[in-house]
Structure 1
Amino acid sequence: MDSELTAQTLERAALDLLERDGVLGGLNLREVADRAGVNRGLVYHYFGSRRDLLRSALRRNVRERIAAIRLQDRPARFSSRVRHVLKGGVRYASAFRLAVLLLLDGDTQLRLMPDLPRTQELLRQDQEAGLIDRDVDLVALHTALTSLSTGYVLARSRLAKEFGVGVRELDDRFIGLAERLCSAVDGPAEDPDGPSERTAGPSEESGKG
């Protein structure tokens, strides 16, 4: 097994264990090594520490998530884009949980919005084109999407249990309401597919941009 593949395998094992045991379950490096099928010493060889392993796993997870989202067709209207963002967050929930784990662990190098400059530039271009209302604060908008995605992904399973509804049902209801609320920032530009539709700027990130 080459070095790059070994590192990827260890990162995957760490994410799998976090998914299984939860954040407070801790991350046993010996178990990570066993799950990856490598010697425990290789964890320290490639990453140096538990925090470095988690940080590396997060970076890879976020890169893959952003790349996957970019391959998808994104809705034109900004309010519909929120649906796209939140669904992406649910699909890549492990990245959100890992980011929060590092944040609570005091990681000063963590970036909750790794694609920040690009996303802000795209939003700015769409605002200039009239696709997002001129008076919308783009920093606040981006912050709202990040907070909304992170908070919901972390709490959705527990909230569904307390409400006594299925997680998928809650996803649909929550995302539908979020889309409705965010229609307030849709600009006046018309959707080419229909005269009454308004379009919006492409946020490449699903809450971690």
Structure 2
Amino acid sequence: MRPPVSEPRPVSAAPRRGRVDVEERLIAAAGELLGEVGPRAMSVRQVAERAGVNHGLVHHYFGGKDGLARAGMRRLVTEHLEWVKAQNEGRPIPVPMALGGDQRYLRAVVRCVLDGESDLALTELTEGVSVPRSAMEAVVARAGLDEPDSETRAVVAAAMALEMGWAALEPFILAITGTPAEEADELRRRVGNLRLGLGARGATRS
């Protein structure tokens, strides 16, 4: 079965209640637009219009587009971490094939990378909330290593590529492989088993 999909978090339509409310509206709108159009195409006016506030407040509260984009991305990665924790039920390594359930986070990261905004894409690292980095640390600990070696990094990289590629391109992959709709869940399960195998390999040393 597909993992639960996180519901969109629409910008509130409630009356504004001062600076905190305006900031929240702008941050939520920025997070939405980072995933929809990416940081390059996102404009201050777009965000302000989505938030229902005057665009001059973006400069007043965030110093401009860059500051607001960072705030929006911080919100997305923090919410993603909480979502993953709920999915994992305390397990250090994410549930296989679950990333597609948080499309807002996924799309924002992908668009930031494609736009060449690596610093923005890596917000989860600077904020200390990176799920794949935490998973790698768990694999390192299980393998009895002091730090990740090249094999561990390769295993984690392969797992990330599988997870992110599938989450972003699942309909395309199903179409290219000629997978009928009634067999999609089975294919997803088998791919998930491959990802589990990567995790087991990373935690085992001969």
Q: TM-score range by the shorter chain?
A: 0.5 to 0.7
Q: Which amino acid aligns with 1:90?
A: G
Q: Separation in 2 of the partners of 1:176 and 1:6? A: 43
Partner of 1:132: none
CA spacing shift, 1:148–1:164, aligned 2, 3 Å: closer
- Pairing of 1:136-151 with structure 2 (within 5 A): 137-151=151-165
List runs of 5+ in structure 1 lacking aligned partners. Answer: 130-134, 189-199, 202-209
Q: Does structure 2 retain, via aligned residues, the 8 Å contact 1:86–1:149?
A: yes
Asked if 1:31 is matched to 2:41, the reply is no
Structure-1-length-normalised TM-score: 0.64
- Pairing of 1:65-144 with structure 2 (within 5 A): 65-74=80-89, 84-87=95-98, 89-110=99-120, 111=122, 114=125, 115=130, 118-128=134-144, 137-144=151-158
CA spacing shift, 1:43–1:149, aligned 2, 3 Å: farther
List runs of 5+ in structure 2 lacking aligned partners. Answer: 1-16
CA spacing shift, 1:75–1:160, aligned 2, 3 Å: farther
Asked if 1:64 is matched to 2:75, the reply is no
Deviation of the 1:28 alpha carbon? 3.7
Deviation of the 1:74 alpha carbon? 4.2
Range 67-76 or range 31-40, more displaced: 67-76
Q: Does structure 2 retain, via aligned residues, the 8 Å contact 1:99–1:112?
A: no
Q: Which amino acid aligns with 1:109?
A: D
**Helix, strand or coil: the match of 1:109?**
helix
Deviation of the 1:7 alpha carbon? 2.4
Q: Name the count of aligned residue pairs.
A: 177
The alignment's C-alpha RMSD in Å is 3.8
Deviation of the 1:148 alpha carbon? 2.0
Q: Which amino acid aligns with 2:32?
A: D
Range 67-76 or range 4-13, more displaced: 67-76
- Pairing of 1:167-178 with structure 2 (within 5 A): 170=184, 172-178=185-191
Q: Which amino acid aligns with 2:144?
A: E
Asked if 1:8 is matched to 2:24, the reply is yes
Q: Separation in 2 of the partners of 1:43 and 1:64? A: 22
Q: Which amino acid aligns with 1:70?
A: K
CA spacing shift, 1:69–1:183, aligned 2, 3 Å: closer
Q: Separation in 2 of the partners of 1:28 and 1:86? A: 33
Q: Does structure 1 retain, via aligned residues, the 8 Å contact 2:139–2:199?
A: no
Structure-2-length-normalised TM-score: 0.64
Deviation of the 1:63 alpha carbon? 0.9
Greater RCO (Cα-Cα under 8 Å, separation 6 or more): 1
**Helix, strand or coil: the match of 1:86?**
coil
Q: Does structure 2 retain, via aligned residues, the 8 Å contact 1:14–1:57?
A: yes
Q: Separation in 2 of the partners of 1:10 and 1:47? A: 10
Q: Separation in 2 of the partners of 1:176 and 1:9? A: 38
